[in-house]
Structure 1
Amino acid sequence: MDTVGVFSYTIDGCLKEEFLQYEIDMAQDEEKQIAFCVSGWHCPIERSKNPNDPEGCKAHVSRKFIKECWHKCGCSMGCGNRVIQRGITRKLQIFFTHEGKGLGLRTLEQLPAGAFVCKYVGEILTNMEQEERNNNAKADPTVTHTYPILLDGDWCSEKGLKDEETMCLDATFSENTARFINHM
């Protein structure tokens, strides 16, 4: 979310209740999610498709993000608006899951609502590149799992994105602890 100088985090590194409620409301009401760029002819999505002669904005999901402070703000690493930069501060454990499902990640403490756990690290690929990687992985005995997360899909109101336009984050070869988060 564009914070416009207002911090999105509490001093102890959790997302503020107002931010969480806003995101919940947006997720529950699809009509609220669709937006047009303010200057319709300068839509970054359309400009990325054709930088020299972009079409007008066709509407897309309103993307919100959090801006964190950084070294040029003049604040210290203790600033409440520097959460991701401090890395993992919660007690986490990688463990063997039941029934031979592999490894998982769990917390060793109760997490408050809006707590930052860890960032998900990986390579950004198009959906087509990911599909090709998955097909190659099936033939490679050293690759037992792939770890993609879809970054965007079906976010244009007129039609979904093409596979070559849809992006995902793949932690198969460049990963961190977050790779072990699963849906157990």
Structure 2
Amino acid sequence: MKIIIGDCLEATFPCACTRETKAVFAYIRVGCLKEEFLQYDWDKTEDEEKQIPFCASGWHCPIERSKNPHECKGCIGHVSRKFIKECWHKCGCNMGCGNRVIQRVITRKLQIFFTHEGKGWGLRTREQLPAGAFVCEYVGKILANMEQDERNNNAKADPTITHTYPILLDGD
């Protein structure tokens, strides 16, 4: 038996990250999302969320453990949704791990261009991409809702600021 260390998609014994995802990896070997993640409805309504199975982790529930690691109570039930958790430097996996996609350098041929429609700058690929391919990470500053509102109000008063691009994250 060949023991592979540092690559969870190939390893006989994957790293500790797999406990949180129940050994469900989001990626296939070539760095694309699996079909089940592509088909998953990430924008479920409240009524639809109630139909999602509740956590069955019991005493090993990561949410309950995060509340108080010294006095972990059994899980009382919460919505259990799909999520993507990548390996990282502290779990023992190397950068070649198949479960580390976003952390690598950009591997796609990209082009930044100015749109003809007057909408500003855009980004496009210069190649055909397979379904679920990772393109690049969009990075910006994380703001509290109040700070974002203040910036938007200031932008309205400042004629030099023509666009803001807020993206709502799942939480405050």
TM-score by length of 1: 0.60
2:49 is matched with which residue: 3, 28, 33? 33
Q: Is 1:138 aligned to 2:138, yes or no?
A: no
Instruction: Compute the displacement of 1:62 (Å).
Output: 5.4
1:39-94: CA deviation from partner (whole Å, max 9, x where unpaired): 9xxx88xx8xxxxxxxxx9x7x7554211111233332111111011032211111
Partner of 2:119: 101
Residue type at the aligned position of 2:49 = Q
Partner of 1:122: 140
Task: Using the aligned pairs only, state the percent identity.
Answer: 73
Structure 1 consecutive aligned stretches of length 4 or more whose deviation exceeds 4 Å: 26-30, 35-39
Give me the CA root mean square deviation.
3.3
Inter-partner Cα distance in structure 1 for 2:55 and 2:148: 29
Inter-partner Cα distance in structure 1 for 2:22 and 2:101: 17
Q: Is 1:71 aligned to 2:89, yes or no?
A: yes
2:167 is matched with which residue: 149, 162, 165? 149
Inter-partner Cα distance in structure 2 for 1:30 and 1:4: 24
What SS is found at the alignment partner of 2:167?
Answer: strand
Residue type at the aligned position of 2:86 = E
Please state which structure has a larger fraction of its residues in strand. 1
1:18 is matched with which residue: 21, 36, 51? 36
Q: Provide structure 2 residue ranges, at least 5 long, that are not aligned to the other structure.
A: 1-19, 68-75
Which one has the largest radius of gyration? 2
Q: Is 1:84 aligned to 2:113, yes or no?
A: no
Aligned length: 138
What SS is found at the alignment partner of 1:150?
Answer: coil
Instruction: Compute the displacement of 1:97 (Å).
Output: 0.6
Residue type at the aligned position of 1:85 = Q
Instruction: Compute the displacement of 1:144 (Å).
Output: 2.6
Please state which structure has a larger fraction of its residues in helix. 1
Instruction: Identify if the C-alpha distance between structure 1 residues 27 and 147 changes in structure 2 by more than 3 Å, giving closer, same or farther.
Output: closer
Q: Provide structure 1 residue ranges, at least 5 long, that are not aligned to the other structure.
A: 48-56, 153-165, 168-184
Inter-partner Cα distance in structure 2 for 1:141 and 1:62: 45
